[in-house]
Amino acid sequence: MESYFLPAERLGEFVGHLAKFGKIYRCEQTESGPRIKLVQEKDYGEWNFPAVRTDEPAKYLFIKAKRKIAEYFDDKWRKITIEEEPKVIIGLKGCDLAAIKIWDKVFREDEQYKDPFYIAARENALLVGADCTGITPYCFCNLLGNGPYPAEGEFDLSLSPVEGGFVLFVGTERGKKALEGFSLSPAPAEALQKIESRRRELARKLDEQNAKYKTDTSWRELVEKNPDSPAWAKHGATCVACAACTYVCPTCFCFQIYDTVRPDGKYERFIALDSCKYPRFSFMAGGLNPRGKLVERFKHRYNHKFFHYHWRYEIYACTGCGRCIENCMGAIDMRETLKSVEVMKETAKTEA
Amino acid sequence: MPETIDNIYYPLPAKVVEIIDETPTIKTYRFRMEEPFTFRAGQFVQLTVPGIGEAPFTPSSKPGTSEELEITILRAGYVTDYLHKRVKVGDVLGIRGPFGKGYPMEKMKGHEVLVIGGGVGLAPLRACLYALFENIDDYKRVSIKYGAKTPNDLVFRYQYEEWAKMPKTDLKLTIDRPYPGWSGTVGVVTVLLDKENGFDVDVNDAYVVSCGPEIMLKFVTYKLLDIGFSPDRIYLSMNRRMSCGVGMCHRCNVGPYYLCKDGPDMCYAKIMNYPNVFS
């Protein structure tokens, strides 16, 4: 992979160069934690680099909690060209970049149906990844085969902080194009080695942190083969169906379409993010509800992420960012639940 | 480079040209589209009641390409309640679709077809019947079993005579409880699968397509298995709550299958081992 050295003092110039592509959004360490911020030109050169992923997932730059998808019956909305504002998103960690790949499968790469709104947002975003330089107690990307750094194929450009600046990796043709006209010298071998060893060190820390959650059986098999495990009720017991896990999840995308009438008589159609945790998510006219019980909905989220999604696309719809663990008021830990499914399966076997 | 893409969420205008009262709670709406609309038997559409919302229905009219389309609707929830109360001939509603795979018409060729309906569930099956009748030579036989609560709840009554006259076709009806003036079979639709009630379909040859309330589908399935049908011959119209219709919003699944994209008519063999097939 092409790599260059970006001296710290040229950061502002570099960001300014990328700004030709679009508005600059950047993951920054703020007083209230790591957040995604819209950056003004005067601040391009000032980057309070966050060690870990932001509190909010990057998905809200690609969808909105509520978005208009049509006015009917207005032919203008039948086929649409969406002029989405181009964005440069700087500092996306490996988990958020992996999530974009997961969304692509559903909204962009389906052979039959394509979501024009997601595609517009996605294709107008330049993804600039960044290495993690620390981990949170909730991080478990290693359990999903990911690492605390941008994975190849998932970013256009990527920055790894090193002494005196950054190493800039070029991931795609688009990244290369965005860089055109900005000359940099190749990254010194020593810097690349340092990045390698930091990545290894962080991966080791993750391994250590998550060793107790490792399962011998794949998560897909655990979820698919154990729908009746007592672990679901045990760990779902403190779930209050607040849906925080799904809203902070970088991969959760379930939505609902709804219509309204404007005062001028125009009919408008919106998409709003929904959550499988809500009792009425699958509630039908007539009163039937396939997932009326909370424990069924609790299990459903695991099913979707580790079984259904893997069945359809052969990847998990989870990137190990740990936001659902961090934000759960019921103190539910996905890693613990899955480990528990395995342990209880073994216990049942021994007892039998 | 901005690209122009079909908006999968945009409904096409569909004008109501006729409303047929089928039963006190079921009406058939005939729509005229601005341009020809094509669907296969069993595929469904999202019907928009402007400003109120969408609900999924499988058309009950003849599959293929036409400017006209019929949908038979039971008053059951928010959208259908509004539809029944307020929508009149001349109103313009919206249609998105068609979605889903539909009935396995090709697979059933050369075989007997057992059509089992309950209540408004006969609506999607009528599209299937039209398709069967159109190519009746391709099928060994068509056997229709249909049940409703009372004689007044039977839909498409004005067509039974015509169906019964079709070659290689028989139609058996039942109602849930005895009713003044009803001399036919009494009992839920599964009684029509009893030999005593003249059931003579070859369980080793026939394909079954069934649509009705979930509780009916459940007992029909168990009964079919009981009398010797193999799960891979049973197709159930598993209509659940759907919003997008295109496999994105993730609420209509049974196991890993999306009923909107992989159904709504699901082969029982595919879903039988997953939890909550019948809630």
pLDDT, tens digit, 9 for 90 and up, residues A235-246: 999 999 999 999
Q: Is the pTM of this model over 0.90?
A: yes
B279 vs A contacts (CB less than 8 Å): 288-292
| Coil/strand/helix, residue B190 | helix
Calculate the CA A347 to chain-centre distance.
34
Residues A161 and A202 in one domain: yes
B54 vs A contacts (CB less than 8 Å): 257, 259
Residue A292 in any domain: the answer is yes
The mean-pLDDT minimum among A155-164, A215-224, B252-261 falls in B252-261
Q: Give the number of domains in chain A.
A: 2
- Strands of A93-156 (E only): list them: 125-130
Q: Above 80 in pLDDT, residue B72?
A: yes
Q: What is the pLDDT of residue A320?
A: 97
CB-based contact A157:A175 (threshold 8 Å): yes
> Which residue range is the domain that position A329 belongs to?
219-254+275-351
Which of B48, B246, B253 is opposite residue A113, by nearest beta carbon?
B246
Region A160-184 average pLDDT = 96
- B3 to chain A: closest CA residue: A81
Residues A103 and A194 in one domain: yes
Residues A172 and A232 in one domain: no
- Pseudo-torsion of CA B41, B43, B48, B52, nearest 10°? 110
| Domain stops at, among A176, A191, A211 | A211
| Domain stops at, among A183, A211, A239 | A211
Which of B80, B249, B274 is opposite residue A256, by nearest beta carbon?
B249
Structure tokens at A11: 């950061």
Nearest to A255 by CA among A241, A278, A236, A275: A275
Q: How far apart are the C-alpha atoms of B30 and B17, rounded to whole Å?
A: 6
DSSP-derived secondary structure letter, A275: -
Residues A15 and A158 in one domain: yes
CB of A311 within 8 Å of a chain B CB? The answer is yes
A82 vs B contacts (CB less than 8 Å): 2
Residues A226 and A323 in one domain: yes
Residue A312 in any domain: the answer is yes
Residues A228 and A198 in one domain: no
Q: How far apart are the C-alpha atoms of A225 and A221, rounded to whole Å?
A: 6
Residue A185 in any domain: the answer is yes
B51 vs A contacts (CB less than 8 Å): 259-261, 267
DSSP string covering B91-121: -EEEEEEEES----TTTTTTSEEEEEEEGGG
Contact A269 B9 (CB under 8 A): yes
Nearest to A260 by CA among A68, A80, A63, A115: A68
DSSP-derived secondary structure letter, B178: -
Residues A191 and A297 in one domain: no
Region A188-193 average pLDDT = 96
The phi-psi region of residue A339 (left if phi > 0; otherwise alpha if psi is between -120 and 50; otherwise beta) is alpha
**Predicted ipTM of the assembly:** 0.90
Residues A206 and A225 in one domain: no
Nearest to B94 by CA among B180, B11, B200: B11
Residue A263 in any domain: the answer is no
Residue A264 in any domain: the answer is no
User: Residues A254-312: pLDDT tens digits?
Assistant: 999 999 999 999 999 999 999 999 998 988 888 888 888 999 999 999 999 999 999 99
B52 vs A contacts (CB less than 8 Å): 259
Contact B256 A308 (CB under 8 A): yes
Structure tokens at B219: 């007992």
- Helix, strand, coil tally for chain A in percent (to 5): 40, 20, 40
Residues A189 and A234 in one domain: no
| Domain stops at, among A186, A211, A236 | A211
CB-based contact A139:A148 (threshold 8 Å): yes
Distance in Å, alpha carbon of A107 to nearest chain B alpha carbon: 7
CB-based contact A17:A197 (threshold 8 Å): no
CB-based contact B3:A81 (threshold 8 Å): yes
Structure tokens at A4: 């260059």
Q: How far apart are the C-alpha atoms of A186 and A167, rounded to whole Å?
A: 9
Beta-bridge partners for B15: B32, B92
Q: What sign does the dihedral B127-B128-B131-B137 (CA atoms) show?
A: negative
Residues A207 and A291 in one domain: no
- B278 to chain A: closest CA residue: A290
Residues A207 and A223 in one domain: no
Q: What is the pLDDT of residue A352?
A: 64
CB-based contact A305:A317 (threshold 8 Å): yes
Structural element, H or E, at residue A5: strand A3-7
Region B10-25 average pLDDT = 97
Q: Which of residues 245-264 of A touch B (CB under 8 A)?
A: 253-261
User: Residues B141-183: pLDDT tens digits?
Assistant: 999 999 999 999 999 999 999 999 999 999 999 999 999 999 9
Q: Locate all alpha helices (DSSP H) within chain B, ordered by sequence.
A: 78-86, 122-134, 160-165, 214-226, 259-262, 268-271
Residue A243 in any domain: the answer is yes
Nearest to A148 by CA among A76, A200, A105, A220: A200
Q: What is the pLDDT of residue B124?
A: 96
Calculate the CA A307 to chain-centre distance.
18
Distances (CA, A) of A96 to A32, B11, B113, B182: 19, 34, 51, 65
Residues A168 and A185 in one domain: yes
Contact A116 B5 (CB under 8 A): yes
Residue A270 in any domain: the answer is no
Residue A39 in any domain: the answer is yes
One-letter identity of residue A21: F
